[in-house]
Amino acid sequence: MGKNIIEYRDLSIIHSHQKVLENFNLIIKEGEKVLIRGKSGTGKSTLFLCLLGLMRPSKGDVYFKDLPVNGNSVSVVRTKIAYVPQDVDVGRDSVNEFFDTIFSYNAVGFTPDFEKIQRLLEWFELDDSILKKEFKSLSGGEKQRIILILSLLLERNVFLLDEPTSSLDSSLKSKVVDYFVNDPSLTVVVISHDPQWEREGLRVVDIPNK
Amino acid sequence: MAEINLIQNIGVSGFIFCALLLILPFMVSYYFKLGIIKKSVIIVSRMSFQLFLTGLLLTVVFDINNPLINVLWVFVMLFFATYTILEGTDFKTGPFLPTMLILFSIANILVLFYFTGFIIKLDDIFEARYLIPIAGMLMGNSLRANIVALNDFYQDVKNNEQRYLYRLCVGASKKEALFPYMQRSMLSSLKPTLANMATMGIVFLPGMMTGQILGGVDPILAIKYQITIMVAIFVTTVLGVLICVIVVVEKGFDDYDLMVEDIKKV
């Protein structure tokens, strides 16, 4: 197996005086596909937040490619990961403006060509006209697909997907799962309740109830 | 002294008549049960005392007209202005005061001496009769904008924290992710100053101009002062707002670029 991409070492998280996670250990290697399961409130999403430096663990460490996530490294770590959260707020921007903003950032460093965007829109069964629409006005499923498209446009190899398929219809769910599972170059960690993700080649990690 | 004699003195009887005017607000307060009679008596007395004291001090300072004392006076004003700004915000005063004081001093003093040196071309740019009132106008008129900028900026990020955090995750630097919030708070804090300039001379005669006209100055000279001081106030306000936003960007976020909570007043 390849290099360590993500490692949680003795991670404990206490959130508003409540233990969310205790002494959690997990190593995810390059190219691995990991499904994280557990009841809501068991701290699944906080695993992503700790890796992205959006939350500090109460105890323990998080490593990304053997680099501890801390104040010095966090901004670099963030540029290496494609994160798909459950919900994204982009204000009153249209989809196009939203993309433009993201690709204007220095650390992102490039602008995707329009053909690639079109290809992805088609693959996700969306019409070109969606680019002109206000992101806020889109349906849950449309938003989810736009965020997935953006995560793919970023051309990163590590994906953190938090319920990425919950609002998609079942044929599209399978298509998305296929895409992420079948590409050996991608390291994918997914939190999902969708049964489509429970398939061969995916390692399941159950987060215990507290 | 000839100019000063042009203005009509207000005598003891004048003050008695002035106090009699207060009966009207007292009657309103009594009828509507506003309960502000006692409060307004205290506040009017306090104001009178403060102004009387300032009048005495200014008389002495103008008389001595020593550059060092004049500049020191400006610094005392700067201190109180900075303190007042921070007291008016949701932030703890202590951690912000030193940085803000230094930055505000630089901005205000630059504009102030530019004004006395290049615009009105004083022979003595430290002359108390010009330096101190102009400094007061610059600081006093930019105060509100600074408070608005400080409060709005942090609150706006707080209200839209998820949007900010997502941008960080995608790879935006703190400054890139905060840029739209900076734009918004700057615009909203500068709006009143711009609106104020737009209506000047139509809706009201500004205080400085009124004062000069009462003092016997030719209205054309008075508007020259008014125009230049308004531009100076605008510049000071922009610089002040910029400073506020920069200080919050630097002090309001930790090494993970997350919002720091304990800089707020409890």
Tens of pLDDT along B65-98? 999 999 999 999 999 999 999 988 889 988 899 9
* Closest among B148, B177, B140 to B258, alpha carbons compared: B177
| Mean pLDDT for back-to-back runs of 10 residues, chain A (210 residues) | 90 86 93 92 90 94 96 95 93 94 94 94 95 95 96 96 94 94 95 91 85
pLDDT at B206: 82
CA distance A36 to A164: 13
Token representation of residue B174: 């703190």
Least CB–CB distance from A105: residue in B160, B170, B256: B170
Helix H or strand E segment including A153 = helix A140-153
SS3 A38: coil
> In chain B, which residue's Cα lies nearest the Cα of A160?
B169
Give the count of beta carbons closer than 10 Å to the beta carbon of residue B193.
20
Given strand A187-191, what is the order of strands in its sheet?
Answer: A81-84, A158-162, A187-191, A33-37, A203-206
Helix H or strand E segment including A205 = strand A203-206
Tens of pLDDT along B148-194? 999 999 999 999 999 999 999 999 999 999 999 999 999 999 999 99
Q: What are chain A's domains?
A: 4-205 (3.40.50.300)
Tens of pLDDT along B117-131? 999 999 999 999 999
Give the count of beta carbons closer than 10 Å to the beta carbon of residue A34.
17
pLDDT at B2: 45
% residues pLDDT > 90 (chain B): 78
Angstroms from B235 CA to nearest CA on chain A? 30
pLDDT at B6: 65
**Looking at the complex, does the CB of residue B259 fall below 8 Å from at least one CB of chain A?**
no
Q: Residue type for B11, please?
A: G
* Closest among A18, A8, A13 to A205, alpha carbons compared: A8
**Looking at the complex, does the CB of residue B183 fall below 8 Å from at least one CB of chain A?**
no
CB contact under 8 A, B171 and A107: yes
CA distance B247 to B242: 9
C-alpha dihedral, B172 to B173 to B174 to B178, nearest 10°: -50
Q: What is the largest CA-CA distance in chain B?
A: 72
ipTM confidence: 0.93
Tens of pLDDT along B241-261? 999 999 999 999 999 999 998
Least CB–CB distance from A79: residue in B171, B257, B258: B171
Q: Write out chain A residues lying below 8 Å of B165, CB-based.
A: 54
Q: Write out chain A residues lying below 8 Å of B159, CB-based.
A: none
Pairing of strands A18-29, A203-206: unpaired
Token pair 């306090």: residue: B46
Angstroms from A130 CA to nearest CA on chain B? 21
